[in-house]
Chain A
Amino acid sequence: GAVVSQHPSWVICKSGTSVKIECRSLDFQATTMFWYRQFPKQSLMLMATSNEGSKATYEQGVEKDKFLINHASLTLSTLTVTSAHPEDSSFYICSARKGLAAAYEQYFGPGTRLTVT
């Protein structure tokens, strides 16, 4: 199979604090991971593309200093929301791709619900 997990599944934090979300590929090595944000009743919006061992590529309008992405290994990528504010409350979803030869295959995690109070 190709299973992607996220931790935590939900988190509540206070405004001004930082929160880290983990994305793990459990049974395969992911050369590329993607982070999406989804607001209620809206679509998934790609935030950034993360390649193992290199800096993430952020989509236009996404603040790289606010959403820190680290892809330190082939099975783990982390998204840190720094100085979180209520408007950052959202559903964050990651996906992982097995490799360049499998460019079309993306496997999605279950998502992390972030609520900033």
Chain B
Amino acid sequence: GESVGLHLPTLSVQEGDNSIINCAYSNSASDYFIWYKQESGKGPQFIIDIRSNMDKRQGQRVTVLLNKTVKHLSLQIAATQPGDSAVYFCAENRAYGGATNKLIFGTGTLLAVQP
């Protein structure tokens, strides 16, 4: 079936460095993408989103890039901090007719920030 997958299951970076987390999606009809951060034992926390009519969106210390040609999504975190250590998921929004939308989650990447 269709899925959203990640290239790197674990990413280890030094504090202060920039982090890049990648995600590949397979459904070209998906029109909205979201990055979530999940800390151990907690629910997903919204980080940043992007619609399919955009290729870049910036937030505070985070940037999401969307390449629809190759169906690729990335999350860039600038000046990574220990508090950024968590699992990061990309999710794609798909409409299944009418007003029904579903979020399909990728497999996740564990970001480990070394002090």
CA distance A97 to B46 in the complex (A): 14
Q: Is the CB of B103 within 8 A of A46?
A: yes
Complex interface: chain B residues within 8 A of A46 (CB) = 102-105
Q: Please classify the interface of chain A as helix (H, G, I), strand (E, B), loop, or mixed, using the class held by over half of its residues.
A: strand
A49 at the interface (CB under 8 A from B): yes
Using CB atoms and an 8 Å cutoff, list the residues of chain B in contact with chain A.
32, 36, 41-46, 49, 89, 93, 95, 99-108
For this complex, 28 residue pairs linking A to B, each with C-beta atoms less than 8 Å apart, are A4-B43, A34-B103, A36-B105, A42-B108, A43-B89, A43-B105, A43-B106, A43-B107, A44-B44, A44-B105, A46-B102, A46-B105, A49-B100, A49-B102, A97-B101, A100-B99, A103-B99, A104-B32, A104-B93, A104-B101, A106-B103, A108-B36, A108-B43, A108-B44, A108-B46, A110-B42, A111-B42, A113-B41
Q: What total of chain A residues lie within 8 Å of the partner, measured CB to CB?
A: 24
Q: Which of B89, B99, B107, B108 has the most CB of A within 10 A?
A: B99
